[in-house]
Structure 1
Amino acid sequence: MAKRRKHEQVELEVTTFLNLMVVLIPFLLLTAVFTKITIQELDLPTQAGGAAAPLKPPVVIEVIVRKNVLQISDGKKVQESIPKVNQKYDYKKLSEKLMLLKDENKDKEDVAVLMEPDIEYESVIGVMDAVKVAEVYKPGQEKPDRVTLFPQVSIGDAP
């Protein structure tokens, strides 16, 4: 007769695995990139449909972001050009020019931001912020008043 071997109870050794987890988990947590995500609401430009022509042509305001200049256009020709200052766009001057346009067109809520290719993301967001809200300092105030300009922003490619 053949002898039967008794199977010994083998204990699983997990100490090495636990040591690895003790080191790996804090390392991954410390090296993880934590990002803050914000949402910019925008509208895509609408295409002209077959609707009847309005009596008064609508006012068109476009902010064109070029590599070295910001331009404000009426849809046909450039009305204002704001060059870069120290290699940065002058968002304050853009807001000032748009405030003048807002004073002329109080009911106007929308604006188109048109960009050339290869414009940096930070610049696009800066322009969108300057188009939506302007900060106005009054004498004797430490904090500026925030004035809403054109809250409905649509984006597109520059001509």
Structure 2
Amino acid sequence: LWVLSDWRLRGLVRTFGFNGQRTNYTSVWTSEIELQSSDTLLRSLRELPGNGRAPFSLSAVPTLFIWGGKDVLIAPPRPLGPDDVVIPANHSAPMLAASYVAQVVLPFLLEGKKISIYEPSPHASYPQRGNEILSIERKRARMRRQKRSDRRLSLRKQGILQQIK
């Protein structure tokens, strides 16, 4: 299965798992996926009910759905149901935003309380390394935009950009 191999798999993991941001966890997730046989991966994809679009059928068991407000893979439902909570995180929340997940999950598991409106506490934050990585990525993106802008300006001065349009 060539789509789930080498650089393609790393790209998919980084795009969908971490919203395109570089992180040390990308290699961990990629290694875990590569350990699975291609038959197992294909079967997992094929067995998604309704190709991954089927609605959940909820039982009488208390349920809590935690949605990442910054997730590019799965959008939170609109409107939110009584079992839905949105946290400021992406698809990698269990690893990069564990404190946010814990603030919602622990009251639910220990006391049966559902938090309907999420209010982050001042001490809950992404790990320091995560902030460092985000900062570096923002700087790189800013530099790329600046280079494109500079190049367009020089092309415009040369009259090339007007000819292309």
Using the size of structure 1 for normalisation, the TM-score is: 0.23
Structure having the higher helix fraction is 2
Using the size of structure 2 for normalisation, the TM-score is: 0.22
Structure having the higher strand fraction is 1
- The structure number with the bigger radius of gyration is 1
